[in-house]
Homo-oligomer: A and B are copies of this chain.
């Protein structure tokens, strides 16, 4: 924290405040060091280094856990409580004290023995999934999933809820959101998207074969870095490496890295992956440096984070304006592969809509249907309405119903996503769809404030958009809960209206005029 948020008259308070910051900074650094070890494990670690790395990660987690639940931290918070109450709610110090307390109270509610048993279980479960997925072996993961479900329920009970068992787990990722609010929102969205998918399915399909020529890896990586740089990703404070699953990871204010995956026969894979991860990174890199290494030095929720990645990946990166400027440059990088292709044809190709089996590869219209299936399954599992043994078939049934496709095996079915194998069942997926909805809501607000943004994008300039995002989202870090941030930035609570309008307008331009069954104007989240 810099000095401007330090103006105590009481020296004793100052000492306690300094101690609070020192303690939370140490927790921050231990987490960051663990993150570096995970990054290394995914990027460069020799194949046999895993056992050792597991032990080193467990040590960092143990040291961080001891500090997160240290009763001395609780006493400090109690001592500072009268001070916290004397501050305006919007004060940075008030936000820090509020967030430290929230994290402390959550941490102490989970018994240490349970936390370590759960970490051990999910780590084992993950390793079993790694082997089971390529082998299409649901039986191998089934007992692990059952234990994960049992422990997820226990965790929810430790955290305490008067609502749905999933609520505390959802709150962990997307604070403030509940099943009661999400269920109708997602139901409405599902109806609208299903209608769009159906209408598009009746139109002539877009040809995207141009994306599947041979695109050499080195050129793809170089072009991706150029695009990331263009939208503002600072390679002095970050870097890009290759991993099996792309991710963004932060070690602190000046070290926020991204990774990508290259498929030499799918140009979109690395390109949009890079835009996505760079979007996450722009958020973290844009947090007020005064918050560096405090509890405010991270994105505020899973949904808001995803809104920033999807905004750059889809709303910007898959827009006609973007390719108007970018396509000639892409043609320079791949002259043979893109010879004779128009910017418009390329724009259509990267926006092809078609039901598919894999969430992470889904287009903008069908994507949320994948998420909604998972969200529904999570709730039914927690409610006891669906048994783990019935999960593979339930997966297939929902896909058939919602998207009209059925995976030939469980590999692309219940074994598809890592989430339930490496973490709790509950709260894992809603952030993706919240992110898509919020991205459109934020972008509409930015456009309303600066109508010239799209023209700028058409010239390969992003600074007005970037500044708006920085001012309204990035710099605040975790200071505001997602609902408050949305209200401040857009003047509205969560609403799917801008998102459905965006989809309808964009894909009408590609597939011909589309309509949305029900007016979405009233669908809001308080």
Residues of A within 8 A of B (CB): 26, 29-30, 32-33, 36-37, 40, 44-49, 51-53, 55-56, 59-60, 63, 235-239, 241, 251-255, 257
Contact = CB atoms under 8 A, between A and B. Distances in A.
21 contacts: A29-B56, A30-B59, A32-B52, A32-B56, A33-B59, A33-B60, A36-B36, A36-B40, A36-B56, A44-B44, A44-B239, A45-B255, A46-B237, A46-B238, A46-B255, A47-B236, A48-B237, A49-B255, A52-B253, A56-B251, A56-B252
Contacts of A235: 46
Given A52-B253, A254-B52, A37 B46 contact: no
Contacts of A30: 59
Contact of A236 (B26, B46, B56): B46
A32 B52 CA distance: 10
A45 B256 CA distance: 10
A26 B40 CA distance: 20
Given A37-B36, A241-B44, A52 B236 contact: no
Contacts of A239: 44, 46
A236 B44 CA distance: 11
A422 to B, nearest CB: 22
A45 B249 CA distance: 13
A102 B47 CA distance: 34
A49 B254 contact: yes
A432 B237 CA distance: 37
B52 A252 contact: yes
Given A29-B56, A33-B33, A49 B237 contact: yes
Given A37-B36, A236-B47, A238-B46, A255 B29 contact: no
Contacts of A52: 32, 251-255
A37 B29 contact: no
Nearest to A237: B48
Q: Name, among A46, A48, A239, the residue most crowded by chain B CB atoms within 10 Å (CB to CB).
A: A46
A29 B46 contact: no
Given A33-B37, A36-B36, A254 B48 contact: yes
Contacts of A252: 49, 52, 56
A235 B49 CA distance: 11
A116 to B, nearest CB: 16
Given A36-B40, A55-B29, A60-B33, A49 B251 contact: yes
A26 B59 contact: yes
Contacts of A59: 26, 29-30, 33
B51 A254 contact: yes
A238 B56 CA distance: 17
A30 B59 CA distance: 9
Contacts of A29: 55-56, 59
A53, A60, A236 — most chain B CB neighbours (10 Å): A53
A46 B257 CA distance: 9
